[in-house]
C-alpha cells in the first residue's frame, strides 16, 4: 500500500483530511486506522482465502470479483476507501492482480464500465454497510451472520447493495454473485448466497423489507435512524442533539450521496481556470465553475478521465474541495509574508497558499510525519512553488521549545474527527468512535497552544478543521481565548462570502447548506 499511498498524496495532496496517523496521542482515534476493530475475531483469522489453481475464469463477473477483494482489503487489511476508489480506476491490471493473489484466479480484463461500477459498488457498499448488514442478518440466523467468513459477507453485501440501492436486474445479480461464491469459495457458499438473495428479491418486490420503525424513545429512534441511514448510533445522537432530527437526517442523506470533486487550477505553474476549462472541454468532462473561488471548478463525474489524461500528474491542477480553498482565503496569504502551516501534510493548503505568494515570501510546512513531508516537497516542486516552500519534520507540541522564529501568519489545520468529509471518506464513519472525541479535543488544545507561540506580535493565527462539530470548533476557540487573552477574534467577513460567516465571525461551511465539505476556521490576531 505504500506505493498507492504515495500516489494518492501526489495526485490529491490538496484533499481535506482528518487527523494524521502519526500523532501518538491518537492511537485510539486514528483517521487512517485499520478498520478491524469492528470485525469479529472469528472473521479476522479467516481473511486469507485458500488459494486455488491459478487460472482464467471468464464466467465470473470481473467488477464483482474486484469489488469483493477491495472491500476485504478495506475492512480487514487497513486499505483506504478513498485511495482505492480514486486511484484504482486507471489500474485494471493491478486490480486483477489483487484478485489473483487473493482468490487464486483471474477474470476477463476490466473495461471502463467495470471500473465505474467498482467505484460505485465499493463506495456505496461501505456507506450503506450498517443498513445492508441489518438486512443480511434479518434474512439469515444471527449466529450465521456473526461467524460469516469475510469473503462470503462481502459477496452478500455487494448483492444486497446492487438489488436494493442500485436497482440492477435482480436475477442477474443473484446469478452473478452465486457464481462468484461458488468459484471463489465452494458450491455450498453459492447455494447460501442463492437462497438469501432470492429471499431479498421477493421481499423487495413485496415492499416488505425488514427495516426498523422510527418509534419509541430517543435511544430507540436513534438506533432506527442509524440503521435506516447507515451511520453509527453515536453520530446520530450527537447530530440530533446539535442539529435536531430533521437536519440530522438531511446530513446523513448528504453523506450517503456520491461525492462531487473540485479541481484547482495551479496558478503556481501559470495555469488559469480558463486554461483548465479548455483542458476539460477537450476531454469532454462536464464541470461547473465554482461560485466562490476563481481558481476552482466542480465536477460530479470524470475524475478518472482527468487522472488518465495526466492533468494531476503533470501538476496542471489539484483535487481540492472548495471548503479547503476557502480556509486559505481566511488565511489570505500575501506576497512577501512569512507563513507557518502546522500539521501541513499532505500539503493541499500549503501548495495553494504558496501559489498565492507569487514567488515572494516563505511558507514553512511542519509535520511530524517525515514520509508525508517528503511528498509535500516533491509535489511543491511539481507545482513549481518549491522556491517558497520549506519543510520541517517535528512534533508541533515541542517545536516552540527550540524554535525562536515567529511568523506573520500561522495556520493550524488541526487533526480532527473529519465529520465534515464523510461523503468523500465513506469508510471514516466506521473508523471513528465516540470516545475519540475527547482525545482529539485534548490534542487540538495542545497544538493550539503550541501554534500560538509561533505568531509574532500583530500576527494572525488561523485555527481550522474539516469537522462540523462545535466541540472541535467554536468550543476549542473559546477555551483557547480563556487561556490566551493576548489573542482576539477577527471576523472573516472580509475574506469569504457572507453566507459562510457565523454570528461570531468564524468561517463555517456545512454540507447540506453549501453543497461542500464541512469545515471551520477562526482568525485570531495577536495583540
What positions carry a catalytic annotation? 466
Annotated binding residue at 18?
no
Annotated binding residue at 88?
no
List the one residue out of 323, 331, 389 whose CA is nearest residue 362.
Answer: 389
Q: Length of the chain, please?
A: 527
How many CB atoms sit inside 10 A of residue 214's CB? 13
Q: Taken in order 235, 241, 246, 250, is the CA torsion positive or negative?
A: negative
How many CB atoms sit inside 10 A of residue 433's CB? 15
Annotated binding residue at 317?
no
Give the C-alpha separation, 86 to 81, whole Å. Answer: 9
Annotated binding residue at 413?
yes
Q: Name the CA dihedral angle for 198, 96, 80, 351, rounded to a multiple of 10 degrees.
A: -140
Annotated binding residue at 377?
no
Give the C-alpha separation, 362 to 380, whole Å. Answer: 13
* Phi, psi (deg, nearest 5) at residue 349: -70, -35
How buried is 281 (Cβ within 10 angstroms: 0-12 exposed, 13-18 middle, 19+ buried)? exposed
Cell triple for 491: 471576523
Count CA atoms within 13 Å of residue 29 on its CB side: 22
List the one residue out of 46, 37, 31, 110 whose CA is nearest residue 75.
Answer: 37
List the one residue out of 466, 487, 467 whose CA is nearest residue 478.
Answer: 487
Regarding beta strands 296-299 and 288-289, do their DSSP bridges make them parallel or antiparallel, or are they unpaired? antiparallel
32 Cβ neighbours under 8 A, 6+ residues apart: 20, 21, 80
* Phi, psi (deg, nearest 5) at residue 55: -160, 170
Annotated binding residue at 133?
no
521 Cβ neighbours under 8 A, 6+ residues apart: 326, 327, 330, 462, 463, 464, 492, 506, 507, 508
Give the C-alpha separation, 512 to 145, whole Å. Answer: 35
Give the C-alpha separation, 3 to 157, whole Å. Answer: 28
Q: 507 forms bridges with which residues in the sheet?
A: 501, 521
Binding residues for S-adenosyl-L-methionine: 343-349, 367, 395, 413
Binding residues: 343-349, 367, 395, 413
Amino acid at each position: 500500500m505504500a506505493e498507492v499511498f504515495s500516489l494518492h498524496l501526489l495526485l490529491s495532496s490538496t484533499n481535506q483530511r482528518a487527523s494524521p496517523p502519526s500523532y501518538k496521542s491518537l492511537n485510539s482515534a486514528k483517521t487512517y486506522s485499520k478498520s478491524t476493530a469492528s470485525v469479529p475475531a472469528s472473521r479476522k483469522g479467516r481473511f486469507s482465502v485458500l488459494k486455488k489453481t491459478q487460472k482464467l475464469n471468464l464466467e465470473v463477473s470481473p467488477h464483482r470479483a474486484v469489488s469483493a477483494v477491495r472491500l476485504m482489503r478495506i475492512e480487514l487489511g487497513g486499505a483506504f476507501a478513498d485511495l482505492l476508489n480514486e486511484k484504482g480506476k486507471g489500474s485494471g491490471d493491478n486490480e486483477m492482480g489483487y484478485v489473483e493473489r487473493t482468490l487464486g484466479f483471474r477474470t476477463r480484463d476490466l473495461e471502463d464500465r467495470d471500473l465505474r461500477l467498482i467505484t460505485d459498488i465499493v463506495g456505496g457498499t461501505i456507506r450503506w454497510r450498517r443498513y445492508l448488514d441489518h438486512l443480511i442478518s434479518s434474512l439469515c440466523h444471527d449466529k450465521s451472520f456473526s461467524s460469516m467468513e469475510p469473503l462470503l459477507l462481502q459477496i452478500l453485501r455487494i448483492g444486497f447493495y446492487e438489488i436494493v440501492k442500485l436497482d440492477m436486474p435482480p436475477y442477474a445479480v443473484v446469478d452473478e454473485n452465486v457464481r462468484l461464491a461458488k468459484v471463489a469459495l465452494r458450491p455450498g457458499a453459492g447455494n447460501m448466497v442463492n437462497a438469501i438473495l432470492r429471499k431479498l428479491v421477493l421481499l423487495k418486490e413485496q415492499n416488505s423489507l425488514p427495516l426498523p420503525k422510527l418509534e419509541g424513545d430517543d435511544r430507540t429512534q436513534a438506533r432506527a435512524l442509524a440503521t435506516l441511514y447507515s451511520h453509527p448510533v453515536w453520530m446520530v445522537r450527537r447530530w440530533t442533539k446539535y442539529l435536531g432530527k430533521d437536519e440530522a437526517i438531511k446530513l446523513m442523506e448528504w453523506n450517503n450521496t456520491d461525492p462531487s470533486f473540485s479541481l484547482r487550477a495551479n496558478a503556481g505553474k501559470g495555469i488559469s481556470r480558463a486554461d483548465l476549462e479548455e483542458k476539460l472541454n477537450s476531454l469532454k468532462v462536464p464541470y461547473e465553475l465554482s461560485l466562490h473561488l476563481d481558481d476552482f471548478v466542480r465536477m460530479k463525474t470524470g475524475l478518472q478521465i482527468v487522472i488518465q489524461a495526466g492533468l494531476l500528474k503533470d501538476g496542471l491542477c489539484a483535487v481540492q474541495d472548495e471548503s479547503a480553498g476557502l480556509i486559505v482565503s481566511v488565511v489570505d496569504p500575501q506576497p512577501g509574508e512569512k507563513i507557518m502551516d502546522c500539521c501541513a501534510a499532505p500539503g493541499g493548503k500549503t501548495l495553494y497558499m504558496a501559489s498565492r505568494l507569487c514567488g515572494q515570501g516563505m511558507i514553512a510546512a511542519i509535520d511530524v510525519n517525515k514520509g508525508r513531508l517528503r511528498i509535500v516537497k516533491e509535489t511543491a516542486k511539481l507545482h513549481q512553488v518549491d522556491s517558497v516552500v520549506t519543510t520541517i519534520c517535528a512534533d508541533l507540541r515541542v517545536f516552540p521549545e527550540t524554535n525562536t522564529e515567529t511568523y506573520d501568519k500561522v495556520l493550524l489545520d488541526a487533526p480532527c474527527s473529519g465529520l465534515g468529509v464523510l461523503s468523500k471518506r465513506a469508510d471514516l464513519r466506521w473508523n471513528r468512535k465516540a470516545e475519540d472525541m475527547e482525545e482529539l479535543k485534548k490534542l487540538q488544545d495542545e497544538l493550539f497552544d503550541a501554534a500560538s507561540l509561533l505568531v509574532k506580535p500583530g500576527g494572525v493565527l488561523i485555527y481550522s478543521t474539516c469537522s462540523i462539530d462545535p466541540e472541535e470548533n467554536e468550543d476549542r476557540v473559546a477555551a483557547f481565548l480563556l487561556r490566551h487573552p493576548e489573542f482576539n477574534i477577527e471576523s472573516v467577513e472580509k475574506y469569504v462570502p457572507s453566507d459562510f460567516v457565523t454570528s461570531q465571525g468564524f468561517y463555517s461551511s456545512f454540507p447540506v447548506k453549501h453543497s461542500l465539505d464541512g469545515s471551520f476556521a477562526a482568525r485570531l490576531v495577536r495583540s
